Structure 1
């Protein structure tokens, strides 16, 4: 079970390095963020994703990111 707040904070503060993607079990996307962190684009996307994680209901977040 993944923690929504932890994922959101990782996305907002370390999103440029893809930390939230690694946390959520998506290492391929995490590596992609690492490859392009120097552009600043992953940082902007990370903040947006962090906000979206916080706006999702707990049920929807768990259905999407928890392994069954």
Structure 2
């Protein structure tokens, strides 16, 4: 198990580079299908899509009162996810992590 975590750690951490990181991590994990990396790729993809979706919705409002909570929410999830990957844990992000695992279960 520890060997699996160490082998997948680079791809797992890379998946949290918002935007392009998920695709880089997917290509890194394409051959070996490391379960630890796959877990974090699903989490990273979820946070990236959440960031883009909320950004598109919130960009219609020109208010710091609306955009600041989105940035805080995404930042907390991102921090939680990347530290979980660094520590070698597979704990889903609060609130949305289990949904990401369910929605993106075909990504391995």
What TM-score range do you get, normalising by the shorter chain? Answer: 0.3 to 0.5
Q: TM (normalized to structure 1)?
A: 0.43
Higher-Rg structure is 2
Structure with greater proportional helix content: 1
Q: TM (normalized to structure 2)?
A: 0.32
